[in-house]
Amino acid sequence: MTARLVNVVDVEATCWPGSPPPGQVSEIIEIGLTVVDLVARERVAKHRILVRPRVSSVSEFCTSLTGLTQSEVDGGVSFADACARLVDEHEARKRGWASWGDYDRKQFTRQCAATGVDYPFGARHTNAKAVFAGDGRQVGMARALEITGLPLEGRHHRGDDDSWNIAALVLLMVERGSWRGV
C-alpha cells in the first residue's frame, strides 16, 4: 500500500567548478521540500530550509548556479537544526520521501556521518529519476519536464523550486500509473 503523503526533497550544496578547495567539502546549504498527496494527486505544501555551512564557503560558481549567497546561507540554521526540523515539522521519519536521483540521499548520509547528526529520514526512499526512466536512459529533472510538456516553475537549482517541479513529475507518474514509489 502506497502512503498518502510523501515528502519530495531536493538539496543544494556548496559546489565548485572542480574539486573543493583545500579544507572544504560539499555541504547542504538549502533543503527544498514539497509535500505531495498521492491520493488527492496534488502538491499540498512547499518549504525551504536554509542551512549554514559548517566548514565551507559558497563559491561564485555556486552562487551563479543556485542564486544562493554566502550572506544568505549565513542566516540559515545549523545542519543539526535543519535535520531536527525535517523530523519534527515534516514527519521525515514517518513519511516516505523521494528525490530526483540518489544524490540527495547520499549527501544526507555522508553529511550525517561526518557531523554525528542522526539521519532524519526513514528507510522508504524513492529515486524518482529511476522510476521515470523505467528501463530507459535517466535524464535530469529539467529534461524530464521538457519531455512531459510540464513547465519548469521557479529557478532551476533552487531546492524549493526543484522539489516543487519534481513533485509535478511524481504526480504525472501517479496519473499515468507508472509510480512505484513510497
**Banded pLDDT at 45 (limits 50, 70, 90):** very high
For each of the domains in the chain, give its residue range(s) and CATH number, in order of start: 5-176 (3.30.420.10)
Which residue is listed with cell 519534527? 88
pTM for this predicted structure: 0.96
Secondary element (H or E) of residue 164 = helix 159-176
CB 47 within 8 A of CB 162: no
Cβ-based neighbour number of residue 1 at 10 Å: 3
pLDDT band, residue 182 (cuts 50/70/90): confident
> 75 falls in which pLDDT band (50, 70, 90)?
very high
What local confidence, expressed as pLDDT, does residue 2 receive? Answer: 58
